[in-house]
Amino acid sequence: MKRATVVALSLLGYALPAATFAQAFPSKAIELVVPGAPGAGSDVFARVIADLMRKEKLVTQTITINNKAGGGGAVGAAYAAQKRGDPYVVVSFPTGMMLTAAQRSGLDIGLDKFQPLALLGFDLNCLMVNADSPYKSVQELVAAAKAQPKSINVSIGSAGSSSHMFVYKLQKLTGARFNVVVMKSGAESVTAVLGGHVHWSTGQLSDAIPHVETGKMRILAVAAQQRLAPLAAIPTMKEQGFDMHIVAGRAFAAPAGIPRDAVAYFDAVFEKVYKSAGWQEYMTRNLLEPVFMNSASYGRYLAARQPEFTQFITEIGLGGK
C-alpha cells in the first residue's frame, strides 16, 4: 500500500498490522440492509445517512440500499447474520429491533451474530391523541383504563416494537390494562388515532408532529429525559409521574466477525456523520435526542439492555425460543 495512505490512516488512529491493508477498505460497494419496507423509520434513517455520506464524501464507494422487510426485522436480521465476516454488509438496525428480533422469531440471530457499529440518536416516543379527545393528560387515560380494564384502545405499529414497549412499561408502572391494537405500520397506527378508531397511540415524534401542526392531533407527553426546547409546553412522561425513557435508537450494525480495520473505519466514518452539520440539522428538525456511541460503547449499551428486552418479549408472549 502507498506510504501516503498508511500515514493518512495512522492519523485517523488506526494501529493495525500492515498486512491488514493488502487491499484498502472499502474497495467495493457497501450494501446497506434495511430490515423494513421503503418509507419505514429505519429506511428513512438509512437513506438520510447514506446521502450524507455521499455529500460529505465520507465513503468513497457506492452505497446500495437493500430493503428486507418482514418478521418485525427478523428477515433482514437473518439475511445479514448469514454474511458473517463480510464488512461490506451494514444493517440499519434500530436498537429495540436488534434486541428483540432473535427472540421473536426463534431464529439464531442474537447479539452474538452482529458487530455493533454506531448509535447516532434516539428517536423519542410520545403519547398522542386525536385533537377532539376528551383526555387531557396521561393520568386521565390511566385512570380510565384502571376503572374499566381493556376499555381504552391503543394502537401500535407492530408487536414487540418501541411502541409496544411504551404500552408495556406504562402498564407495569400503573397496573392499568389497555386494549392493544396491533397495526401493520406506524403510519396505520397514527391513522387509527386520526380516525377516532382508538383512544390513543404511541410512536415516534416524527410520526405525530405533522398532524399536531395541522391541528388534528395532540401530544400528551414525550418519553424523553427532559423537555425538548421546540416542544417546551409538552411535559415528559416522567413529569406526569411515569418514569419512562422509550426510544427507537437509530443505529447500525454489521455481521459478526468483520475485520478490526473495518470496525475502526466505520467508527471514524460514523463519528464524522454524527458531527456533520447535515446530521445535526436533521436531529434538530426531527426532534431526535442527540447521542453518539461508537462500536465499543454501543456494544456495551446493547448488552446492558438485553435483560430488559428479554423480559419484555417473554411477558408479552412473543418469545420464540
pLDDT tens, position by position, 64-77 = 999 998 877 888 99
Equal fold, 23-122+248-315 vs 123-231: yes
Tell me phi and psi for residue 183, to 5 degrees.
Answer: -100, 180
Burial class (CB in 10 A: 0-12, 13-18, 19+), 318: middle
Task: Place domain 23-122+248-315 in its CATH homologous superfamily.
Answer: Bordetella uptake gene, domain 1 (3.40.190.150)
Kindly give the parts of the chain with pLDDT less than 70. Answer: 1-23, 102, 104-106, 320-321
Give the whole-angstrom CA distance, residue 19 versus residue 25: 12
**Domain ranges, ordered by start, for the chain:** 23-122+248-315, 123-231
**Distances in whole angstroms, Cα of residue 22 to Cα of each of 4, 212, 263:** 15, 54, 16
Q: What is the pLDDT of residues 81-119, one digit of tens each?
A: 999 999 999 999 889 888 887 676 667 788 999 999 999
- pLDDT value of residue 24: 86
- pLDDT value of residue 129: 98
- pLDDT value of residue 105: 63
- pLDDT value of residue 9: 36
CA angle 237, 243, 245 (to 5 degrees): 75
Task: Place domain 123-231 in its CATH homologous superfamily.
Answer: Periplasmic binding protein-like II (3.40.190.10)
- pLDDT value of residue 320: 59
Look at strands 63-67 and 114-130 and give their pairing.
unpaired
Q: Which helix (H) or strand (E) holds 235?
A: none
Q: Global pTM?
A: 0.84
